[in-house]
Chains A and B, each alone.
Chain A
């Protein structure tokens, strides 16, 4: 079978999960950019506010004492926050630095231009707001490390994506289960069709399958009905053919037999009439085989629990007389009650064909052994003979219809073994040909046993 290009399961999974992934990434990106803007606004506003407060606090003092540096005094250790190192300020009067917070020492004498700006000091990014009051000549610088903002953004981002990264696999798992569950009826349906016997043409039940598959099931059922119809026609044909072929054969046979009776005292006619009679019998045998093959193939094969041992016994009882007539030694060793699942009539044809073959191809004085035994969960039916056997390169070909071994010497129809093979196939049985020693053939049929011993 060719690899399918896609499976519904994969396709559904892809179609459902990709948009969800893209959506969550998109939402994340949009949220991120608006969060960044908002944070920038809020922090900038804080800078402006701090500048304003500082200006109001120092305005008076700076004006009174021109260019006097204001001492901030010792930092009070109890008034400290770890975040404080990230913010700082400087106050200038014209170009004199009046005061600055401890963190601003690294800025040196560099005066930052008014308004908002980003500056680098000691490989650290700072955001500045500078307000220059022209009236008093005071310049207020407030600054904040960029890192404060990015850290906040990272934290928000983490708060957003950590739950999302846990949720998405869970979500995909739920989709996977959902898709698998929805497709289960389809898989069950195909399994049940797969498991069907080759002769089982009964309709497929719609009830268990989802509604979307009903049209497919109905189409399948229509196909099954058409196959059933053609099977029925074939069976009708077979029945008619049986009648049309058997009637003239019966006429020939009866006529030959009448002639044989009449020619009882004419030995010169006897041989020819006997040949005619056996030719008619062979033609009859061929017709019978063809018809039984056709009938087996066009009928629904009903299977029941069959006692293979009983089937073999019955056939051997029928055929024993043939062995006696031709002075062949028939022996059997049949274990009791080897039960298999199968069609009794078909199995009987199988056994009859194989024993009949062995009898046919074994010369007068030869031996035919029939065994039934169980072996590793299988019922085994084995026929061995002391005929000419079948060469290795012919062993496969003999199962073909109308193949006749060059050793068959005009016996047989060339159908017996192909019928046997076919019957084995419908029973899940193996048929193998082996060499018998010193000569002859062993045919072995291995059928799964019903109750494993």
Chain B
């Protein structure tokens, strides 16, 4: 997997390239002009692009790429966290963004996801500890052993796993189950499913934050 990093800041570019190199093959260039030349000759899987570049900006480079129907995944890095800047980037055809300073592991995870999606292997499995959830195959394994769940339990688990690290409210879970299976939902159904999931997987797997919702760490 080959990544092109476009970042004009010497220190940040060097550190990011080094961090990405632990997982991918990385080329690093410091200007949009150099990047254009590199993109013509090398089939990069993902481009990590700084928005603010000297002379031609990252956004202009992105626009030019999309104009010639180059749909390689682009993740842009921005130091400006105002929402308007992020929306502008996404509107111009970026696939994802990160605000500086970013977490190296998160950058690596997002670049991997973009690369997989581009290769038609989207929807990677989601893992939490030794529990692995495959959203495509709708299967759950614990230490490699398949755990049998009902359709609704799977639906509840799916939304909790996709929002891993963030609490999901009961209302959001109810809405999700309704999308999945439009059968009627009784008020205590969610609690019933949660306790079933805890029994089948691990009693501490799903945490309750009272008044907020449920969360998988």
Contact = CB atoms under 8 A, between A and B. Distances in A.
B217 A261 contact: no
Nearest to A315: B212
B209 A331 contact: yes
Interface stretch (A92-100, A172-180, A224-232, A318-326): A318-326
Interface stretch (B26-34, B64-72, B95-103, B184-192): B95-103
B104 interface: yes
A251 B82 contact: no
Given A320-B166, A320-B213, A324-B207, A257 B19 contact: yes
A334 B167 CA distance: 15
A316 interface: yes
B209 A250 contact: no
Contacts of B130: none
Nearest to A334: B211
A120 interface: no
Contacts of A243: 52, 79-80
A330 interface: yes
Nearest to B10: A251
Interface in B77-124: 77, 79-82, 99-105
Interface residues of B, number: 35
Nearest to A253: B101
A280 B209 CA distance: 30
A325 B209 CA distance: 13
Contact of B212 (A248, A320, A325): A320
B15 interface: yes
Q: Which of B81, B209, B213 has the most CB of A within 10 A?
A: B209
Interface residues of A, number: 38
For the complex of A and B, the 6 pairs showing the least CB-CB separation, nearest first, are A332-B211, A250-B101, A251-B11, A251-B12, A250-B100, A320-B167
Interface of B: 9, 11-12, 14-16, 18-19, 22, 52, 77, 79-82, 99-105, 165-169, 207, 209-213, 215, 217
13 contacts: A242-B79, A247-B79, A254-B12, A254-B19, A257-B19, A257-B104, A258-B19, A280-B101, A321-B165, A324-B207, A324-B215, A332-B209, A370-B211
Interface of A: 239, 242-255, 257-258, 261, 280, 284, 288, 291, 295, 313, 316-318, 320-321, 323-325, 330-334, 370
Given A261-B19, A330-B212, A334-B211, 7 more contacts: A250-B9, A251-B12, A291-B81, A318-B166, A320-B167, A324-B217, A332-B212
